[in-house]
Each structure stands twice: as structure tokens, then as C-alpha cells.
Structure 1
Amino acid sequence: MGGNFMWIPTLTASDQPRYLALVDTIADAIERGELKVGQRLPPQRRLAWALGLNPSTTQQAYREAAARHLVAGAVGRGTYVLAGSKEATLFRLKRHDAEQAVIDLSTNVPVVDPDNRDLQASLHRLLELEQSGLLEHYLGPEQLLAGRVHGARWLAERGLTLATDELLLCAGAQYALNCVLQSVCEDGEAVMVEALTAPGIKAACRQLRLPVHGVALDEHGLRPDELDRVTRASGARVLVITPTLHNPTSTCMDAARRQAIAEVVKRHQLLVIEDDVYGALSEQPPLYPLLEGRGILVTSLSKTVAAGLRVGWIVAQPSLLAQIEPHSQASHWSVSPLDLHIACQWIADGTAARRLAWNRQETAERWRLARSVLGAALLDDRQASPHVWVAAPAGAEALAADCRRREVEVVPGNVFAIGVDEVKAVRISLSAATSRAQLKQGLEAVRQALAEA
């Protein structure tokens, strides 16, 4: 494929919205090999012109493709294909025909309460106050400041006392992670990550072409001795870590381990990017306060309040944020004014805290159900978590395939692995199932697959 090649698809007629038809076309082209890993997609406006679409349609399609981790965009670099990597294929498991009775135990999202009407109430209130005009304008300085103020208020519940100049608003944690890595890393710079790490972290490093070095874990989380060793061996100065409700293992670092990690960080003068998207679901505090200015915390409302609220924050010392700020423009200007309005309203009136409390309770109930059904197969059953890490003695890929034949989706451990040939475990998400009854049905299918392996 020559350097001047530009992919222009043919959209077939369908009943679904045009932006979804375009996303499906991108996904199919990736699967067929027509689009390669790392290949740049056409600019949104050029593709819109070529297909006879409104530019907003291609913009929406690229956002949805990014949400499925098929592509990712970077400021000044365009939009590139991520698929072909195992972590990207994870996000393609979620599209099912309406008639297909597939139980999704692969997606990490907040549990949806079918009886909740918070969004409807907020939208009605917005219309009654004649504020729908906010959709007709870009975010203004006042709205961006409000996002920081309410972010500081929200993070106070995590034990962080923050001034507004210690936060940047962003369009979700994944965008924030890309923005931070792009800002603090040189081209091609090595980055340390946990040897089992979230697909979004792998995808961000891949998209930015940052080589990764895995650091071994144990039952308490990242091992400080291994962090010391890998730092010395690799010369890396940036670490991406999830200390609380680690994805995929669900481990929470205890106080002793957090302190030990902080000591290694300070000794080697590392910079730590802390993924805290699940943190509010636990009682554990962030690692960030122990890092004494050498940390950057990334979080959002997506895993704890509502998956569709694409609002998050980057937390760091003002001097670090000044380094990130130029690249953050595309991230915070991508925040939907409607999303930000609802997020600020929900934080101010207590709706976000109430939804979080409900989610924590429901997560705990589902976790107890998983523990009762899967028993000793759970590799860590010490704390309630939205996902569990389950042993697959006969092989993770084989177990995932067997579960799929039983119409249950789980994620094989190799999707999360860095420098590990085979991981004999699968991650099971407990929150995407529509009810506890459906979750129990899916977990029992997993148990049967394990018994017959």
C-alpha cells in the first residue's frame, strides 16, 4: 500500500444511522485487512466530502470508532487504526444482533438501573429553563472553569484537596491518558506499565508509538523490587499504573505496598500516571498524594456514574499541567457542552454521589454472586470489584471460545498481557449484564465451561 493511499469506503444502504454504518465499514475493513494497524484514516472533512455526508456525521463516526478502540486520534497526527491488536478486538465483541441472546461479561461499565430517571429529569429541567442553546455554542471560559470547580468537588470525596489550577477538564479518561502521554513523553520513549494492563493503556501507547515494558505483579499489585529492576534495565522514567481495582485482576494495593512504590518512584525520580477510573468504587485512597509532585492522576465519571458522560479530569501540580495544557486543548474542547452541564449539575445537587452509592452497592451484590458461583476459580476475592479475574487452567483462549459457544462473552487474559507468552486467566465483568438474574445465568455457563475444560 503506497504512502499516498487514502482509504475511501463504499457505504451500503441500511436502516441504521449513517455514522454507525461508517463505523461498521471501518470495522469490516480492519477485519479484512484492508485497513492496517497504524494506518492513517482520511481527515473527517475530506471523508465527508468524498461520501457526500455532513462533516458532523464523520466526526460522530470517528468518535464511536474510537470508543470501540478501533481507531485513536492525536493532536496534529490524525486518526490511526488500532485494530489488529488483541486489545482493540475486545471492543468489537459488544455488537450483537437484537435477536441474539448473548450475555455480555466482557464490558466494564457502570451497572444500569432500569428504573432510574435522572437523565430524563435533567433534560426536562434544561428545557424548562430554556438552556438548550448551550448545544449551539462551543464551551466558554466560564464552563471550563465550572468543570474544574466541580471536578475538585467530586475528587474531594477521594480525599484530594485541590485548587482549580490543579485540574484540567477532559473528554473522558482515555482521551486524558493519550493527552498526558503525548505531553510528557518524547517520540519513541519507553514507558513502564503493569505486566497485565488495561486495553486502553496498551492502545494509547501503541497509537503514540511508545514502547512498553511490563512490570511484574503479585497479589498486592505492582512489585516494588520489579519496578526498581525494570527502571534500571530500561532507563524508562514514566510509569502508568492502576493501584485501585486494577484492571484486570481487581487488586487494590494496601498501604504498605503504596508506600513502597512511592519510595521507588522518588528514588528514581519517575513520573507516575495513575489511572483512577475505578477508584471511587472502593474505600482505597489514590496513590497520588504519596508521590509528592511526581504524579498525574487521570479519572472520569464513565466507570462510576454514567458511561455516556464523557467528562473527566487530569490532576497534577500546576507546573506539570502547564506542560500538558497545550495538548489538552483538543481534549477539553471535545467535551460536549450538554455532558458537562449534566455532570456539573449532578455533582452540585448530589445526583452523582447518589448514583455512585447505588453503583457501589449493586457492584458489591454482583461481586458476592460471582464469588458464590465461581468459588475457588476467583484469583482474588478480597474486595468487591466490577470485574473478577478467573483462573483458566486449560488456557484462556480456549475458555473464552467455549464461553462464546455458550453465548457468553468474557475476555482472555492475553488481551491484557505485556511481555507474557500466555496468561491462564480470563476477566469477567459483572456490570454489563442487564440484571443479576442474567449475570447468574452467564456465570453458571462459565462455571460449566470450566468444569468441562
Structure 2
Amino acid sequence: MWLPTLSDDGQPRYLALVEAIATAIASGELRPGDRLPPQRRLAWALGLNPSTTMQAYREAGRRHLIGGEVGRGTYVLASSREASLFRLKSPEPDAEALDLSTNLPVLDPDDDDLQRSVTALCARHEMAGLQGYPTARSLRHGALAVSEWLRGRALEMPPSQVVLCAGAQQGVFAALLGLCEPGEAVLVEGLTSPGIKAAGRQLRLPLHGVAMDEHGILPQDLDRQARATSARVAVLTPCLQNPTGASMNALRREAIAAVARARGLWIIEDDIYGALGDEPSLASVLPERTLLVSSLSKTVAPGLRLGFMAGPAALMVRIDPEAQATSWALSPLCLRIGSDWLQDGTAARRLAWQREQVHQRWRLAQKLLGSRGVPSPHLWLPLASGVDMASLCRLAGIEAAGSAMFAVGHDAPPALRLSLTAAPSLALLKARLERLSGLLAAARCDE
């Protein structure tokens, strides 16, 4: 029987048990399909009240770590590894642990842009009008602002070809829902984001991973998989791919575009990190077959929840024929502030600041860990033979995401992803990466 050791950090005992379940899943101690002990039996073994284990199992189920059926028991879900990446942290996290497991942008502690924008809206007595639903006028204003913003990605997309949504994840979900039939094969990178994996599961769309190298997916394998699966849709992240950080160069973009045209593939381009890099989007060379999906979350402000889709009119009609399925979910306040920032230069200024933060942190990782490739908000660390990098990260006080979170299928390469921009300060990141670099050097000397 699986029997955890509960941490004694002052948090409620049911939360300590939930964290123990999440940790066991992340480490591989508990695997998808494993059966957990009955609640009363586990309570007796741990010296807990049965209501405590019941509350813990209920919370773990809410986080999509486990699931149960009457008469069958409680099991670890297949989606649990990805779910553990987004689990709520304990109210008082370990001060020694720097959580680099989740991709977050750098947050400026001295930022007052949002406060100034809200204050200005209050001074003009406009807040009352932002408590309802989005209006046709506000949506047109937002689409125009996004259209102008996309010129920075070398894209000419008129407002009529822009649909707003509450974040890129909702955009990818809506695109898959509109373009795919139930059970239809969808092509993705062999290592893809947990959000894309979750969308495939929720929509019951089998994902097929395409082989990759340092420049992204391989054209020949994309062609092979398209022929073998008869897939019509591929979801790709050509710029600063999550988790590997790979960006397609000009030759790779042209080669992928040629395969998409030859095989009749629609490309859903997840361009969430694109503005942080220097490479153009895939949509710039394949505009007739690409739906670009992005948001302001990784580049301007995650809390605004302003996302958008842009592409050929024929695709937009299929994805949101009523023009309400996506835009209706937007907060009018977020829409107004986001649109204003896109047009008054605030978004461009914040993007420039975020890009500089990414470059500083990438140079630091390059110096200490020898990272390669283009500057990226996340670092992909292949695990050297004989070196337990996961343990070294823990010793260095770093939480990282394992490759199983991102692998499509069961073949996960030995690697970890570190979100460099998740660290609250460059100084703290430097201290932990220096500690990790020293531990890694010592481990190599001991080989």
C-alpha cells in the first residue's frame, strides 16, 4: 500500500496529503492507473481522521490528480503529471525552494501601469460601463488594436480576421473544437505544452507527436505522420517552443509550409512566446493555411487574460460562426485596458522590458549551465548520463518540470525544463543556478 510521509510545515493535514500525492506523481512513485489506498485505511495508517483523507481525496480530484468510481476505488489519472504542474502551492511555500516548474513571465514589483489605468478609468467615471458584457464597439476596438499589434510580428491581419478570446489556451481549444471531428488525429510536436495535451484529452482528439531537432519539428516526419494518420490539423509552436525553446529558422519554416500545402494541413500556430524572440511566425510564410493564436499573458501582463486568433476568414467562420463562443468570455475591464495598452504604447514598452529580462536570464543560464540556442524564457536541460539532474535541482533548491509533462506518448527523453522567468528576481535565480552549477561540476568530477 502506498504510504506517504506528510510534511510538517504547519499547513492543514489534508493539504499536506494532497501535496504528498502530487509529489509522488511528479516523481514517478505514483503512475497513471495506480490505485490509491481506501480513504479509511489510509487514515488509520497515517493516524488521521477519515474526514481528513476524504477532504484530501476530494481536493486531489479537483486538481485532476486522481479520480474514483463507486465500487472500483480511486486511481491516478492519466493527466495527473500535467495537473501537478499547475497545482496550487501551499499557503506558505518552502522559503528554500525556487519554483521554476511553471512558465510565468517576470513580474516587476515596481509596476504601476494597471493602477494608473484603473485610476484613469475611475476619474472618467467609466468603470460602471465595464461591469456588463463586452459590447460590439469594445470588441471592434480590441480587434483593431490586435491587428495593429500583429504588425510587430510581420503580419497584416485586418480586424475582420481577428477574433478575441480569454487567453491563448481558450483560443487553441476553440480552434480544435471548430476544425476537428471527434476522434480525429491531430499532429503536435513530440514534446508539447501541457495545455495542448489537456485540450486533446478534453476534446477526445488523439495527439501524434512529430520528431524534433534544435530547429523544431522535422519536415520529413511531419510529412510521414500526415500520410500515416490522415490528419488535417497540426498544432505547432514555431517560435520559442515550449518546452525546448527551439525556434524555426527561415529554411525550416519554408519546408514546413511546403509540407502543409502538399498534405492539406491546417496549422494552428501557438505564438504565445513569439514576440519575445526574433524569428517571424509561421503564418508569415503560410498565411492561407495558418491560424495564429496568442495572447498578452507571456509578453505584457498575464492577468489581463486578453487573447486572440487571427487567420483566413474561412477558418474564422468555422471556429466561431456565431462570433460569441470566444469573445463572450472576455472581461470588459481586461478588454478595455488591454486594448488601450496596445494602442498607447504601454504594451510595447512592457514587451521590451520583458524581452530584456529574458535575455539577461538566458545569458546567466548560458554562463552557468552552458545552455544553447536562442534566448528563451525557458531552459531545456538534457540529463547527462550518470548524473541525477532531478536530485541536483532539489539539492540546489530548485523545482523543475520533468520531460514526462510534455512528452506525447510514453517515450519521454531524460530532461528537465526550467522556467527562467518564473524567478522573482535575477539575484535569486543567479544564486540557485550557481548552486546547481557547482553541484553539477562536483557530480561530473565524481564519475
TM-score by length of 1: 0.79
Instruction: Return the alpha-carbon distance in structure 2 between the equivalents of residues 99 and 220 of structure 1.
Output: 37
Unaligned 5+ runs, structure 1: 1-15, 38-61, 72-80
Matched, 1:441 2:431: yes
Of 394, 411, 414, the match for 1:424: 414
* Counterpart in the other structure of 1:165: 160
Q: State the secondary structure of the residue aligned to 2:304.
A: coil
| Structure-1 separation of matches of 2:391 and 2:79 | 18
Letter matched to residue 393 of structure 2: C
Shift of 1:344: 0.8
Question: For 1:411, which of 401, 410, 415 is the aligned residue?
Answer: 401
Query: Aligned pair 1:108/2:99, yes or no?
Result: no
CA–CA separation in structure 2 for the residues paired with 1:395 and 1:301: 41
Q: Shift of residue 402 of structure 1?
A: 4.3
1:383 to 374, 381, 387: 374
C-alpha separation in 2, matches of 1:30 and 1:146: 46
For 2:269, what is the secondary structure of its paired residue? strand
**2: CA distance, partners of 1:449 / 1:211:** 40
Question: Quick one: structure 1 residues 69 and 84, their matched pair in 2 at CA, closer, same or farther if it must change by over 3 Å?
Answer: closer
Q: In the TM superposition, what is the alpha-carbon distance from 1:430 to its structure 2 partner?
A: 0.7
**Partners in 2 of 1:421 and 1:409 — Cα distance?**
22
User: Gapped runs of 5+ residues in structure 2?
Assistant: 1-10, 26-31, 34-58, 67-75
Larger radius of gyration: 2
User: Is the Cα contact below 8 Å between 1:408 and 1:445 reproduced in 2?
Assistant: no
What is the Cα deviation at residue 326 of structure 1? 3.7
Give the Å deviation of 1:401.
Answer: 4.6
Mapped partners of 1:130, 1:82: distance in 2: 49
Is 1:400 aligned to residue 395 of structure 2? no
Mark the CA change 1:176 to 1:443 in structure 2 (over 3 Å): closer, same or farther.
Answer: same
Answer yes or no: is the 8 Å Cα contact 1:248–1:387 preserved in 2. Answer: yes
For the pair 1:321 / 2:321, whether they are aligned, the reply is no
Match runs of 1:151-300 below 5 Å = 151-300=146-295
- Tell me what 1:351 maps to: 346
Once the two structures are TM-superposed, the CA of residue 447 in structure 1 deviates from its matched residue by 2.5
> In 2, Cα distance between the equivalents of 1:214 and 1:436?
35
**How far did 1:411 drift?**
0.8
Query: How far did 1:442 drift?
Result: 2.2
Match of 1:244, SS state, is coil
Instruction: Give the match for residue 139 of structure 1.
Output: 134
Shift of 1:159: 1.0
Aligned residue identity for 2:158 = A
Q: Which whole-Å CA distance do the structure 2 matches of 1:160 and 1:283 have between them? A: 14
CA distance in 1, matches of 2:404, 2:99: 19
Give 1:331 shift.
Answer: 2.6
Question: Secondary structure at 1:113's aligned position in 2?
Answer: coil
Give the match for residue 55 of structure 1.
none
**Cα separation, 2, equivalents of 1:105 and 1:99:** 13
1:336 maps to which of 319, 331, 334? 331
CA distance, structure 1, for counterparts of residue 187 and residue 125 of structure 2: 49
Deviation at 1:421, TM superposition (A): 2.0
CA distance in 2, matches of 1:69, 1:116: 34
Instruction: Give the alignment partner of residue 126 of structure 1, picking from 121, 129, 132.
Output: 121
Question: Structure 2: which amino acid aligns with 1:190?
Answer: A
* Aligned counterparts of 2:136 and 2:389: Cα–Cα separation in 1: 51
Q: CA deviation at 1:132?
A: 1.2
Q: Distance in 2 between matches of 1:192 and 1:390?
A: 24
CA distance in 2, matches of 1:82, 1:318: 39
Q: 1:384 to 1:419 in 2, by over 3 A?
A: same
One-letter code aligned to 1:361: E
Aligned to 1:43: none
Q: Percent identity?
A: 47
Number of residue pairs matched?
A: 389
Note closer, same or farther for the CA distance 1:161–1:70 as it changes in structure 2 (3 Å cut). Answer: farther
Q: What corresponds to 1:371 in structure 2?
A: 366
